[in-house]
Amino acid sequence: MIDATGSVKKQVTCESCSHQYEYEMTRTAIGSYSGFALTRQKADEEAAADAAQKLKTMLEIECDVVPCPKCGALTRQMKAAKAAVVPACFGGLALGGLIVGGVYLFGWWSGRWFIIFGLMGAGLILLSGSVLLVSFWGFITGSGKSK
- Taking the C-alpha atoms of residue 124 and residue 127, their distance in angstroms, rounded to an integer, is 5
CA-nearest of 17, 13, 46, 14 to 31 is 46
Query: pLDDT tens for residues 66-80?
Result: 899 999 899 999 988
- What dihedral angle (degrees, nearest 10) is formed by the CA atoms of 49, 51, 57, 58? -160
pTM passes above 0.85? no
Query: pLDDT tens for residues 94-130?
Result: 988 999 998 888 888 888 878 888 888 898 888 888 8
Confidence label for 6 from pLDDT (cuts 50, 70 and 90): very high
Which conformational region is residue 18 in: left (phi greater than 0), alpha (psi within -120 to 50 degrees), or beta?
left
- Mean pLDDT confidence for 57-66: 91
Q: Sketch the domain layout of the chain as residue ranges.
A: 1-71, 84-147
Please say whether the beta carbons of 23 and 66 come within 8 A. yes
- Taking the C-alpha atoms of residue 44 and residue 42, their distance in angstroms, rounded to an integer, is 5
CA-nearest of 63, 58, 34 to 46 is 34
